[in-house]
Amino acid sequence: MNKNEAVQEIERLSLELSEHNHLYYVESRPLISDYDFDMLLNKLQDLEDEFPDLASENSPTKRVGGDITKKFESVEHKYAMLSLSNTYSKDEIEEWVARALKMVESDIEYVCELKYDGCAIGIQYVEGQLKQAITRGDGAKGENVTANVRTIRTVPLTLKNDFPKDVEIRGEIFFPLENFHRLNEKRREQGEPEFANPRNTASGTLKMQDSKVVAERGLDCFLYGVYGVDDQAEGHYELVQKASDWGFKIPPVSLRYIEKTSSIEGIMNFIHYWDEKRKELPFEIDGVVIKVNNYDQQEILGFTAKSPRWAIAYKFKAERVSTILEEVTYQVGRTGAVTPVANLKPVQLGGTTVKRASLHNADQIEKLGLYLGDRVYVEKGGEIIPKIVGVDLDDRIANSEEVKFIHACPECHAELIRHEGEVQHYCPNEIGCPPQMKGKVEHFIGRKAMDIDGLGAETVDALFEANLISNSADLYSLTFDQVVNLERMADKSANNLIDGIEASKKIPFERVLFGLGIRMVGETVAKKLAKYFKSLDALSVATLDELIAVDEIGDKIALSLQDFFLNEGSRQIIQKLKDAGVQLMIEEQEGGSNRWEGLSFVVSGVFDAFSRDELKATIEQNGGKNVSSISKKTSFVVAGDKMGPSKLEKATKLEVTILTEQDFIKMMNRDD
């Protein structure tokens, strides 16, 4: 390559890498894998080494991270938060070890740690009090997200024991998989698009303006680096263990999240172990970090312009395959959300045959720049969901058709809409769009809503095909003679179905409200609205200000409610439900009281005298609050048979009062 060609190639690579940097660090929306990014960066580095006079001071090879967003105060790091050099093979590990040994000229002890897939954070404590928490940013400056970090329960607000007067703790904030899946389940219930992966969601959550929302999402943090007090221990491993005494959650040695070794074999054993076991972790990792333990040796090794020489990251390769994009189709959900789906030539990936991959939304299609017939690269996002991460432009077919997002609903042909500030397109035809109509009925009959016995998705399809129903309220007009003639419907099944529909008329109002499938009104929101307004009639005429006055109800939920009640089709369904005798107001419960007001309960396990729903209803009837997870603020754990051992252990450790079913009955029957 001559110099003129090098100028053009360096410019092209620099622009491409800068764009990917921005997508990854600022927008939390990466389009290529870490491996591909590193390969591009290495290519640019090689060119700059060959033509040093062409290397710019603002080259991506000189940068550590991405740009600083303007939402939070920008703060300079006291200690530069550099990134690590990445490696992908044993040979590269051996080269790194050899260089370190040559510079140190003595034996080296190494520390192996998990590389958590989250957001790096530096937290400063002065006189034992949390002072500020700063994101990585560009490595020299980061964003002050102190208010949000304070909501993370595993981050101590006050240190204990012999803590240093001024110390900075570094770590990784991440989204536990259980909490991430729970958040996506809630978004499904509210008709909102699901988040793609825990890493991006943790990053976005950490930069939210409302710290209350951050607290509800349940982020976690492992703290694994101590800065400013390395005189308290000879090595990194020892000082991290000491930080545990100050109250920090550190990687547990017992689970092999961190360990020491003096050999390359020990390093590779750690890598191979976690490459196999990482799928069993309750959070995501994308590799392993190896560090020289001794601080004196770290000082000898020093730093390059962008990373320490005494540490390196081994990145696990995400399994990737290439295949052909044959077609893009579109799915319509019960809330009208339209999701594009890539239909692929079948290919093996991660032990399964992949035929389809979500394209999420119109913006993603535009970013990828897809054409039908393209050879695309597919990975499994978060080891679960297949996703297209790139296109082989060199293999593009001449005169192929560009993929453009549709303007009309693929099912009912209504013009799609896109709400301001949202990425999803919606079909507004709620009462005439078949997948929305069926989806709303399936939601209505679900276990957390009307829980209609004998009625499932297949029967709903059959009822629609027979033109017996067009919405949820039509279920209450069905007769035995109508349903018994359905395919695979015997007399007993037909009776069970009719009886189940009749029994659902006694389902409490808050579950009926949830079952209506109003966009953004999930199970929890429905309970709060039902408790506040007492009846559907009162809720239907509530003003925007009255709706927002309810705890946790914001503008978007309030506007969604008003849109629902203004819709003529919705009003007709509500009238049919009234005529059928469905519960559309809160009934005063006999034996109700406020005696457990201010107390929180966790119900777990299997019980003899009650179902879990009955226990929870009793708690709420007496003013108590049901919560899903155990914390120091939990008042009681009602423990049944087969309660999870981890919950029992946590309750015992936090000294939360544990009630058996008999204890709860005694407590319930007491006059006080």
Q: How is residue 109 written in tokens? A: 């002890």
Q: How is residue 629 written in tokens? A: 């997870």
Quote the strand ranges of 382-508, DSSP E: 385-391, 425-426
Q: Are strands 636-639 and 657-659 parallel, antiparallel or unpaired?
A: parallel
Residue of 373, 148, 112, 49 whose CA lies nearest to 266: 112
Q: Is 525 left (phi over 0), alpha (psi -120 to 50) or beta?
A: alpha
Question: In the chain, what is the straight-line distance between the N-terminal and C-terminal CA atoms, in Å?
Answer: 87
SS in 3 state form for 582-615? CCCECCCCCCCCCCCCCCEEEEECECCCCCHHHH
Distances (CA, A) of 408 to 279, 329, 414, 590: 40, 13, 5, 52
- Cα separation, 666 vs 672, in Å, equals 11
Quote the strand ranges of 175-246, DSSP E: 220-227
Distances (CA, A) of 10 to 30, 36, 43, 85, 655: 22, 17, 9, 21, 61
CB-based contact 13:293 (threshold 8 Å) = no
Separate counts of helices (H) and strands (E) for the chain: 24, 21
Q: Are strands 86-87 and 311-315 parallel, antiparallel or unpaired?
A: parallel
- Residues annotated as catalytic (active site), given as ranges: 115
Q: Are strands 166-174 and 119-126 parallel, antiparallel or unpaired?
A: antiparallel
Q: Which helix (H) or strand (E) holds 168?
A: strand 166-174
Tokens 């060119």 correspond to what residue? 47
Q: Which amino acid is at 227?
A: Y
List b or e across 269-305, with b for residues whose CB sees 16 or more CB atoms inside 10 angstroms. ebbeebeeebeeeebbbbbbbbbbbbbebbebbeeee
Tokens 């509210």 correspond to what residue? 190
Tokens 């190494």 correspond to what residue? 110
Tokens 């793609």 correspond to what residue? 196
Residue of 396, 426, 389 whose CA lies nearest to 411: 426
CB-based contact 225:242 (threshold 8 Å) = no
Q: How many CB atoms lie within 10 A of CB 490?
A: 9
Tokens 């640019």 correspond to what residue? 44
